[in-house]
Amino acid sequence: MPATMRRTQWVAALPPSSLHALCPTEATVLCVSRLRYAKFGGVHLALLPPGNYSARVRATSLAGNGSWTESVAFYIPGSEEEDSGGLHVLLTVTPVGVMLLIILAALGFFYSRKRSSTLYASVNPEYFSASDSRSGGGWTGGVEKRQEGRRGKLQDTFSEQAALEPEPFRGGEKWVEEWQTVVSLLCDPHLLSVYIPDEWEVPREQISIIRELGQGSFGMVYEGLAQGLEAGEETTPVALKTVNELASPRERIEFLKEASVMKAFKCHHVVRLLGVVSQGQPTLVIMELMTRGDLKSHLRSLRPEAENNPGLPRPGLGDMIQMAGEIADGMAYLAANKFVHRDLAARNCMVSQDFTVKIGDFGMTRDVYETDYYRKGGKGLLPVRWMAPESLKDGIFTTHSDVWSFGVVLWEIVTLAEQPYQGLSNEQVLKFVMDGGVLEELESCPLQLQELMSRCWQQNPRLRPTFTHILDSVREELRPSFRLLSFYYSPECQGTQASPLPTDAEPNSPPTPEGASSGCSPQNGGPGH
């Protein structure tokens, strides 16, 4: 077996009587990667409660799991079995002192390293680090708010292969953050529980990889084929998303949680989850294949001077309205299900073979555009050029802030994915938007789209249209197939009560509850063609 494919796993049978409510009583599985094994020679067990234990190992690779070795039993005595008095005090105090020395040494190393060297990193220019802001406390609130509830209802389970393995040392702050994650995992029986396969589980042998599509925010994305995935189809082209081998425990958990979010969505204009492969390594998330890639890349390929121009003409008004309607339909579906996207942009919309535009899968398809890294989470990079002023100031994310971002996406469609606020730095954009600025009007922009952008960029969030109001204004220009496939014309949407369009004459009207703002009112026939 090639060395690069080798893995070692350790299983300990934990005694039910000794752990009580502190940790789970099932066997614990740890994955020791090739890099960790080469560095440490295995895994070190520490701070185990008293009791009887057994351990065994096996090799795991893409080809499957090897056989378990014979179990090795060992016993950790309780405190009552040890000598009392000075020895007991010594055994208690010494580990604490050692841990304090290790922490102080790590912090000292980080401090001296930070003073003696400067880190140069290339990051996604469309995201602005919260730590770089000089605007005061507003950013902190925004970051915390984004982390708290960014994915709606999430499952508490994850794959056993989301091993309790911290990343290599990368500075004191990162070290503390990752080990806090590990400690929380060790003491949380819900997070340590094994990911339970459900009806979404697909046997690994039914999946074959064809080629790499590119790097996603968690790991490599592949094009592949799945056998027997859909009724009546022998094979189905799919996109296969993986998690990086060096991903932190937090990122591994996020990977499966974001996939779990997709299980609840069923809308033609939202990219579909097709299955999960959680047994063995690597964990795979199977998504609908969007052959034309993300909308930003697709729009740029339509520029006359683009080297990868497919020979298609520049989109006309009808094409641009169709894209806008499909994106608005997917967002209306999310709003109806009380889901706030928080990062709507052309790069996070996907284009199918028949040019249908769909909302991407919420963090797992975010294009890094050949940058060195993409930082997620509570201290991650934020898309300031697409964010509403209330999100920048106070960290407030609602469907109303998604509508602001939709206006920026319209601007991207008209300009064939130029950078918003071109010529301004991220700090300048931050101040400009918080001071009430919006993107300038485009000379070549059709009046209908320019007016729609202006409505999306109202400073008062309550004065912005909902996504269904946006569809009300463009439905007559949408293609007949939209009526058959959209959420907007579905019984689920039509069954909700319509809310009136916001106007400037209602500045003091109460805010619409999240989800209720998605009222639909397609009346008497819809599109007139």
Higher pLDDT, 349 or 86: 349
> What is the average pLDDT across 494-502?
55
Token pair recorded at residue 357: 């535009």
Measure the CA–CA gap between 39 and 356, rounded to whole angstroms: 48
Lowest-pLDDT range, 58-62, 453-457, 462-466, 496-500?
496-500
pLDDT of amino acid 168: 41
Highest mean pLDDT among 22-26, 113-117, 438-442: 438-442
To the question of pTM greater than 0.75 for the whole model, the response is no
Spatial separation of the C-alpha atoms in residues 288 and 274, rounded to whole Å: 6
Mean pLDDT for the chain? 73
Copy the structure tokens of residue 480.
């007949």
Q: What is the pLDDT of residues 234-260, one digit of tens each?
A: 899 999 999 887 877 777 777 888 788
Q: Residue 506 — very low, low, confident or very high, per pLDDT cuts 50/70/90?
A: very low
Span of 195-209, 327-341, 426-440 with lowest mean pLDDT: 195-209
Q: Tell which wins on pLDDT, 130 or 356.
A: 356
- Give yes or no for residue 370 having a pLDDT over 70: no
Tokens of 425: 């730095």
Domains and CATH numbers, the chain: 3-82 (2.60.40.10), 297-529 (1.10.510.10)
Query: Which pLDDT value is given to residue 393?
Result: 92
Res 332: pLDDT: 97
User: Of the candidates 268, 329, 266, which has an alpha carbon nearest to the alpha carbon of residue 518?
Assistant: 329
Question: Which range (91-105, 173-187, 288-302) has the least confidence?
Answer: 173-187
User: For residue range 375-431, what is the model confidence (pLDDT) as tens digits?
Assistant: 333 446 788 999 999 999 998 899 999 999 999 999 999 999 999 999 998 889 999
Stretch 439-456: mean pLDDT: 95
For residue 431, say whether it is annotated as part of any ligand binding site.
no
Going by pLDDT thresholds of 50, 70 and 90, the confidence category of residue 446 is very high
Q: Is 387 within 8 Å of 138 (Cβ atoms)?
A: no
Q: Report, in this order, helix, strand and coil percent for the chain, each rounded to 5.
A: 40, 15, 45
Taking every pair of Cα atoms in the chain, the longest distance, rounded to a whole number of angstroms, is: 90
The SS3 of residue 11 is: strand
**CB 146, CB 139: distance < 8 Å:** no
* pLDDT of 268 strictly over 50: yes
pLDDT tens-digit series, residues 159-168: 333 333 333 4
Most confident listed range (74-83, 210-219, 298-307, 320-329): 320-329
Exposure of 403 by Cβ count < 10 A (0-12 exposed, 13-18 middle, 19+ buried)?
Answer: buried
What are the catalytic residues? 343
Residue 449's pLDDT is what? 97
Percent of the chain surpassing pLDDT 70: 64
Lowest-confidence segment of 70-74, 89-93, 200-204, 328-332 by average pLDDT: 89-93
Higher pLDDT, 463 or 89: 463
